[in-house]
Amino acid sequence: METDEQIRQRIQQSQAVLEEGGTLEAVLRLLRQAGCSKTDSMRVVRSLKEVPLGEAKRIVHFSDAWQERRADDEHFHDELAQTFEGNAS
């Protein structure tokens, strides 16, 4: 996980890309190529788009930049939900 200062720098860089006509998808690809985690990408999107965390998660999760992780992440989420549901009984 990146520090708050690193995230601020990522946000500034991402804003510059958008101001130059780049897309949010291009920003997500650049973040990923730079080694930014999925969680930190959500933090950047949340700030850039001024959306709630859930919406930022949806944007990143369904982006082309993160598409090859989608199935594994959904499987993990399902297993986690089943674990908590099993413990709630």
In angstroms, the first-to-last Cα distance of the chain is 34
Predicted pLDDT of residue 80 = 84
CA distances from 24 to 11, 49, 75 (A): 12, 9, 26
Predicted pLDDT of residue 24 = 98
Predicted pLDDT of residue 21 = 98
Predicted pLDDT of residue 1 = 86
In tens digits, what is the pLDDT along the chain, a chain of 89 residues? Answer: 899 999 999 999 999 999 999 999 999 999 999 999 999 999 999 999 999 999 999 999 999 999 998 888 888 888 988 888 887 65
- E strand or H helix at 57, and its extent? helix 53-61
Predicted pLDDT of residue 86 = 80
Tokens representing 83? 């674990």
